[in-house]
Structure 1
């Protein structure tokens, strides 16, 4: 095995030398491809393939990367890949000229070329371009991985995404779909009279979520600042200011571990709508998921990890207490005290901390027994107040809040509230969070005096929701890990 690896490395080094020698020869002959400034592209490969009847016999110009090449004396075939796909080109010496054909024969897999020619079908009925011009636009000085058994190592794929995009077309498709998903989200919200805004990334208080922030220091101001962990508190300030429907799609940063579901920086959609509640948010997100799936995939029936998910049916709605009762057989409506809840947790071998209240224990039971059952779209509603510091209490039971989380494929896809707009209650909840932080919970919310001041000016009844864009993209592209839908996921630096 070691000898085989050594031979592969020697072969690779030899190919790299040959590529550089070819470039040097081109430059010596006044044909340096890096001096070419532009190339006029009139069509993309996919468009030609899908519209052959209209384009047959017409001249087109494409540009892209040579992915394969077969030279046969006076005529050759090559495959050109561009952003939309790939197709075959037929290159004859008699069509492009002796000198140009001699140059073409020296082109390598991976080189970027411009190719002009006539659309036709070969005798095997393959739509192709009969070249009249082939121009080298950029010389590749590396060897594409498929020359050495492909690019399969996930670590390399994530670190060198540019290679992954070149050699794995399905990866390119995923990120094109990601762009379409975000575009359709914007279209939907814009059509609902929401306005898109931008709020600070660097903040004095990183609030709005239970997460550890990244901390830095502003030299000029000589003060510590943080990268935002949420978009919530600034967007609510805008609701106070009279912007009744606002949203932002932006990066947030949480100083947490890496997993198939978590990356320290990720894309979040948050929106807030005045004069509605969490029921209005349920209706909105249900419609949003359906419309985006239909626009991007052409269907609301999707498959994820072999499980069929039907977004067309009404999403199930369960309170957190009822969900625990349904899947764990435990009715927390009958549990009166914190001590009873903790005794129940011990009985079921669920780890908890001394600071945990009854509501925290309910959530721990939910995480243990319920989440893994939630494949189909399900709204989990009415969370305990202990785990919902920014949500309104339920008027019928102040121990619970008007909050929901949407779960699909066992994953939280959205989190929403009837937003707490009582500044006195909000201050009390912040102070309770501060006490938790003092007791060692570094994910507890930070008291934000300016936000409390904003609430004191008056915020109307408001519904708000946060949706993890990356998880939505994972769902709609059947991707197993968050790194598969992030172009450049966070990676540990390689030792030099």
Structure 2
């Protein structure tokens, strides 16, 4: 019999001696998980989560003191009744007059002082990671606060939160490979969305002027420190804005998020570097980005847009530490973005990078159905040539544009990446509660 099985058997025997260990709708004055026990002869101290309790044999009814010593293990949930007093060191403590078991922990918790260090176990058994590592628990509290602050800011600026389909007959809104599934009820193939963009822009056609969605997206691609197959995305769209207005709005959004987290000086630590979010943030063109950081003139190179994008990812992005907008990417890289009127070969688009992490992709939206149809046809040719990430031809979306969509600007940001940056986490797995893991 393994050591774990022996411990489980012993604790199950203890459980049999306890009547009704899982009560429902019971009033509890103090309750929680036993995190430590220190015995001192006829008395003992213990902690229920952060609350210290004190049990003294003479203060307890019947044989409750002995049963506590015999039956309670670290990890158990108990309820205690008692009055508050202060110890000599000034710590508020509950003098227990009565207690009872609420739930038994059959497995021993990881050793308190060493925490849970094995990274794979931390990700696979996140419940133990949250239980034993306060830093991990705090990261997910911060994540929740980030999402709350985003909602507050957008709601205050008259954006309407909406929900769009996750199961889609045609995927779109990004250049990525999708997950496929099948709907038995209608005997039809579907895709998990790679982005909500095209549905959100249909709502602009329908008369809403400002909409946003925070939801899960799915991309059947590689995994690394900045990518997870399913992730949380914020997208919002505003009619009558352009990408210039959106850059200013983005700065205000980030300042609101940082201030809501108590970051008054707008400086954070990430990867042993200090990142300063003080505005305004610099803007640099795509051409100047390559000239400055890769010593490459993109006007003279014969490299394709995909090859340039790979150079940017390999040689440039990590060098961008303080927030920077890079603008004017080639229009062929952006099948849904409006071209600049003065330089139609460039997209009216920006990307926000900080800490070497691409946080935001945003642009003035293409609202010409004629131009959109031509762009989709170009993408269709790429698909037929074997490009699995090319954008699908969405006839229904083109039809929606034919009814008229107001000029607009759209913004997309990965919540996981933002959280990793603001919590100084090295990988997205640190800030996704249950990240994708290889099957054991």
Q: TM-score range by the shorter chain?
A: over 0.9
Q: The residue matched to 2:261 in structure 1 has which SS?
A: helix
**Aligned mates of 2:211, 2:76 — CA distance in 1:** 46
1:398 corresponds to: 344
Query: Do the aligned partners of residues 243 and 132 (structure 1) sit closer, same or farther apart at CA in structure 2, a change above 3 Å counting?
Result: same
1:265 aligned onto 2:230: yes
* 2:241 and 2:408 in contact (8 A); partners too: yes
* Aligned-residue offset at 1:129: 2.4
Question: Match for residue 371 of structure 1?
Answer: 317
Aligned to 2:171: 206
Cα pair 1:320 1:366 within 8 Å, conserved: no
Give the counterpart of 1:318 among 276, 284, 301. 284
Distance 1:78 1:242 in 2: 61
Match of 2:162 in 1: 197
69, 74, 90: which one pairs with 2:37?
Answer: 69
Classify 1:471/1:67 alpha carbon distance in 2 versus 1 (closer, same or farther; 3 Å): same
TM-score, reference length from structure 2: 0.96
Number of the residue aligned with 1:350: none
Select between 125-134 and 155-164 the one with higher mean Cα deviation: 125-134
The Cα shift of 1:87 comes to 2.9
Q: Is the 8 A contact 2:382 2:390 kept in 1?
A: yes
How many residues are treated as equivalent by the alignment? 438
Q: Deviations over 1:391-421 (max 9, x none)?
A: 0001111111011111011111010010000
**1:236-291 deviations in Å (ceiling 9; x for gaps):** 00011110000000000000122111111000000000000111221122111111
2:405 aligned with 1:459: yes
CA distance in 2, matches of 1:79, 1:38: 23
Say whether residues 1:308 and 2:254 are aligned partners. Answer: no
Shift of 1:97: 1.9
Aligned to 2:434: 488
SS in 2 for 1:64: strand
Identify, as 1 or 2, the structure richer in helix.
Answer: 1
Match 1:102 to one of 50, 62, 66:
66
Deviates more, 1:478-487 or 1:150-159: 150-159
- Looking at structure 2, the residues matched to 201 and 69 of structure 1 have their Cα atoms a distance apart, in angstroms, of 48
CA distance in 2 between counterparts of 1:420 and 1:323 reads 25
Between the aligned partners of 1:119 and 1:302, the Cα distance in structure 2 is 40
* TM score, norm. by length of structure 1: 0.85
Distance 2:306 2:431 in 1: 32
Secondary structure of the 1:237 match is helix
In 2, the alpha carbon distance for the partners of 1:70 and 1:194 equals 54
Alpha-carbon distance, 1:10 to partner: 4.4
- Could you tell me how far 1:73 is from its partner in structure 2? 2.2
Q: Work out whether residues 324 and 369 of structure 1, in 8 Å CA contact, stay in contact via their aligned partners in 2.
A: no
- 1:227 maps to which residue? 192
On the 8 A contact 2:283/2:327 being kept in 1, the answer is: yes
Displacement after TM superposition at 1:162 (Å): 1.1
Q: Is the 8 A contact 1:321 1:362 kept in 2?
A: no
Tell me, which stretches of 5 or more residues in structure 2 are unaligned? none
- Equivalent-residue separation in structure 2 for 1:463 and 1:116 (angstroms): 58
**Distance in 1 separating the partners of 2:115 and 2:277:** 36
Cα distance in 2 for partners of 1:365, 1:380 equals 15
> Which residue of the partner structure matches residue 4 of structure 1?
none
Aligned pair partner of 1:93 in 38, 51, 57: 57
SS at match of 1:212: coil
**Deviation, structure 1 residue 230:** 0.2
Are 2:147 and 1:182 aligned?
yes
Could you say what secondary structure the match of 2:391 adopts?
A: coil
Q: 1:296 to 1:452 in 2, by over 3 A?
A: same
1:397 match: secondary structure: coil
Quote how far apart the aligned CAs of 1:369 are. Answer: 2.9
CA distance in 2, matches of 1:10, 1:403: 60
Q: 1:284: which partner in 2?
A: 249
Correspondences of 1:415-454 after superposition (within 5 Å)? 415-454=361-400
Tell me if 1:25 matches 2:17: yes
Deviation at 1:149, TM superposition (A): 5.4
In 1: Cα distance, 2:100 partner to 2:263 partner = 38
* Change in CA separation of 1:291 and 1:149 when aligned onto 2, cut-off 3 Å: closer
Q: Distance in 2 between matches of 1:313 and 1:121?
A: 49
Post-superposition offset of 1:80: 1.5
